[in-house]
Structure 1
């Protein structure tokens, strides 16, 4: 008999691994994605922090696609970031977007 207190709806997220400038690798879970102006963006959270309600998310922009790899970069332009964050905020039923 199943325990009625078991969490029924556990989420499974796709992940991307980013390589930092120092060569270390960090795994991020993809929360959502959106296309805007011909560009594709991902909303990601560091995988080891996925259960932390206060974890900060990053917005990554797809910059190139090769046969085996997709390259993403953090969105650093403030206007672009605000525009894309607003799209995620409008779309996000399962998460809350707060822009600092």
Structure 2
């Protein structure tokens, strides 16, 4: 996967080679690892969005974003993102 850090919008390349624009909505730490949460950029905030959770991993000295293979980890990180979003709204 490719990524561009530094702003709220990134273009990610999916496993089929399609480029999709995403909005970065949160970064969370879970069990010592860093995860980033994204939603598709074209969605309005009110819409139910598919949240994409990616893990920051180091590969050849570079930080890259990788798909989270473990569903339990992805669900736990997703719950953290939701709890933080709800806390911000209060």
TM-score, with structure 2 as normaliser: 0.70
Change (3 A) 1:54 1:63: same
For structure 2, the residue ranges without an aligned partner over 5 or more in a row are 1-6
Structure showing greater Rg: 1
CA distance in 1: counterparts of 2:83 and 2:14, whole angstroms: 30
Bigger relative CO (Cα 8 Å, ≥ 6 apart): 2
Which structure: greater strand fraction? 2
Distance 1:23 1:60 in 2: 17
1:63 aligned to 2:60?
no
Match for residue 79 of structure 2?
86
CA RMSD, 1 decimal: 2.2
Instruction: Choose which of 72, 93, 96 in structure 1 pairs with 2:65.
Output: 72
Shift of 1:74: 2.5
Bigger helix share = 2
Q: Which runs of 5+ in 1 are unaligned?
A: 1-12, 96-100
Partner of 1:16 in structure 2? 10
- 5 Å-filtered alignment, 1:30-41, equals 30-41=24-35
